[in-house]
Amino acid sequence: MGEWLRDRLARVAGPQLAGLLVPVAAVLAAFLIGAVMMLALGANPLEGYWALLEGAFGDVDALADTALKSMPLLLVGIGICIAFRASVINIGGEGQMIAGAIVSTLVALGFPDLPRVLLVPLVLVGGLVGGALWGALPGALKAYSGVNEILSTIMLNIVAVQLMNFLLRDPIMDPYEKEHGRLPQTERLSENSDLPLLPGGTRLHVGILVAVAMAGLAYVLLWRTALGYRLRAVGHSAAAARYAGMPVKRTIVAALTFSGAMCGLAGAILVFGSESHRFVTDGSSVGFTGSAGFNGIVTALFGGLHPLWTIPSSFFFGGLQFGANAMQRAVQVPAALIVGLNGLVVVFVVSSDRLRRVVGESLAQGRRIRSGESIDG
């Protein structure tokens, strides 16, 4: 626990007090802008936000639904932490989620009769593998061909969406739908692949435990293994890491592979934790992922690119997503507002580095001037 705890404590106690406040301030600023928008649309922002918070965190069922919403955000967020720590910008969360969903669905369709204790872990591994492949590809392209990973991951998102549409419209389409409804979806997948529900009578399933465990594992990976050390060293300075004799290229591939695996697991959990227990497409990636591939970037940034801090961060943003529906019902402001505000949070968090320095410098300057030192000195 040492390093991050020290880091956090130093921030709270030390001169970088602002460090911890940044994400909080970013959310407050975004919600202030949201409040102005609500006023402009003729709604009462206090009423709206109250409905949102109550809808998201008000009772046990709400908390369970919030946890369900936060699951993909957490897993993608963990993946983003791993990639960003290695200075690899993974924009391919959407495609990696789809790839994970595809492979895990194929596993469930291939071995429907395996007992549940085997099939459930197997489909989750399928998700990991699918996502890992979809992450390793842009990783290898970056490491060995110098292809910018931002672009290759964006392109692979498109490829994954079309692959999903193709598979769900023909090869693995529900035979019944093929004859009648033409809904692009699989048949109801084997009951032995359903993620077991947690006790308590809510819709919450074991996926949440898996996701939290992954956050712990990712923490161990990043801070307690040689590979994690290399990842962070490459992220800090690829040139220095190379000079120190580290295999930079392999490390970059590993970063995107692990990152993709987390996203792929999120995709598998979306399929096997769904109410319908089918893999369904509406033709777009957002229709399947709910933009989790992008929103995971928000939760990771908000969690300071730390897998463990990404847990509360994801829970918070999952709550916003789920509570947004209650807000929509209460004040008739569409839930899409929250998607927009998430974007603002990202913008504010990444802009704040500079802002913090500027503010810090001017404060320091003020102190120097007051104490009679020259500004240049």
Partner 1 sequence: MGDFFTVASLVFVVGSGIRLATPFLLAGLGEAIGQRSGVLNLGVDGVMLLGAFGAYWTIYETQSPVLGVFVGLGVGLVMGVVYAVITVGLKAEQGISGIGIFLFGLGISDLLFQKQVGTPFPIRGFGDWHVPLLSDIPKVGEMFFQHSVLVYVAFALVPAVAFLLNRTTFGLNVRAVGENPAAADSLGVSVARVRTTTILMANTLAGLAGAVLSIELGIFQQNLTNGQGFIAIALVYFGAWRPVGVMGGALLFGLVSATVLQWKTLGLVSGAASSLTAMAPAVLTILALVVISRTVGQPAALTRPFERGH
Tell me: does residue 341 bind partner 1 (CB under 8 A).
Answer: yes
Stretch that binds partner 1, among 11-19, 155-163, 213-221, 246-254 (CB under 8 A): 155-163
- Residue 181 interacts with partner 1 (CB under 8 A)? no
333 binds partner 1 (CB under 8 A): yes
Tokens of 4: 């991050």
Pick between residue 125 and residue 335 the one whose CB is nearest to partner 1.
335
Complex with partner 1: residue 166 or 223, whichever CB lies closer: 166
- Kindly state the smallest distance separating residue 342's Cβ from partner 1, in Å: 5
Which residue in this structure is represented by tokens 């030390």?
14
* Chosen residue from 150, 206, 217, 238 binding partner 1 by CB under 8 A: 150
Applying CB under 8 A, does 179 fall inside the site for partner 1?
no
Binding-residue pattern over the window 156 to 175 for partner 1, x denoting contact by CB under 8 A: xxxx--xx-xx--xxx-x--
74 DSSP assignment: H
Whether residue 305 contacts residue 7, with contact meaning beta carbons closer than 8 Å, is answered with no
Q: Which residues of 64-98 are buried (b: 16+ CB within 10 A; e: fewer)?
A: bbbbbbbbbbbbbbbbbbbbbbbebebbbbbbbbb
Rule CB under 8 A: say whether 143 interacts with partner 1: no
Give the Cα-Cα-Cα angle 244, 249, 253 (nearest 5 degrees). Answer: 130
Q: Which one of 97-105, 108-116, 200-208, 336-344 is the stretch in contact with partner 1 (CB under 8 A)?
A: 336-344
* Maximal C-alpha separation, the chain: 85
Compute the distance between CA of residue 293 and CA of residue 263 in angstroms, rounded to an integer: 7
Q: By CB under 8 A, tell whether 73 contacts partner 1.
A: no
Our finding on whether 346 is near partner 1 (CB under 8 A) is: yes
For residues 309 and 299, the answer to whether their CB atoms sit within 8 Å is no
Report whether 318 contacts 70 (CB < 8 A): yes
Residue among 256 and 341 whose Cβ is closer to partner 1: 341
Query: 288 near 98, Cβ under 8 Å?
Result: yes
User: Tokens 């085997």 belong to which residue?
Assistant: 118
Pick the closer one to partner 1 by CB: 207 or 260: 260
Task: Look up residue 103 and give its amino acid.
Answer: V
Please give the structure tokens belonging to residue 227.
Answer: 């590979």
Interacting positions 22-51 with partner 1 (CB under 8 A): 37, 41
Q: Which of 152, 185, 186, 313 binds partner 1 (CB under 8 A)?
A: 152
Partnered with residue 129 across adjacent β-strands are: none
Q: CA–CA separation, 52 vs 55, rounded Å? A: 5
In this chain, which stretch among 126-134, 146-154, 227-235, 262-270 interacts with partner 1, using CB under 8 A?
146-154
148 binds partner 1 (CB under 8 A): yes
Binding mask 96-125 for partner 1 (x = CB under 8 A): ------------------------------
Residues 6+ apart with CB under 8 A from 247: 230
- Name the CA dihedral angle for 11, 302, 158, 272, rounded to a multiple of 10 degrees: 120
Q: By CB under 8 A, is residue 91 in contact with partner 1?
A: yes
Per CB under 8 A, the list member of 350, 359, 363, 364 interacting with partner 1 is: 350
Q: 317: helix, coil or strand? A: helix
* 185 lines the binding site for partner 1 (CB under 8 A): no
Among residue numbers 243 through 302, which ones bind partner 1 (CB under 8 A)? 284-286, 291, 294-295, 297-298, 301
Q: Which residue has the tokens 């970088």?
A: 16
The residues binding partner 1 (CB under 8 A) are: 37, 41, 89, 91, 141, 145-148, 150-152, 154-159, 162-163, 165-166, 169-171, 173, 284-286, 291, 294-295, 297-298, 301, 332-334, 336-347, 350-351, 353-355
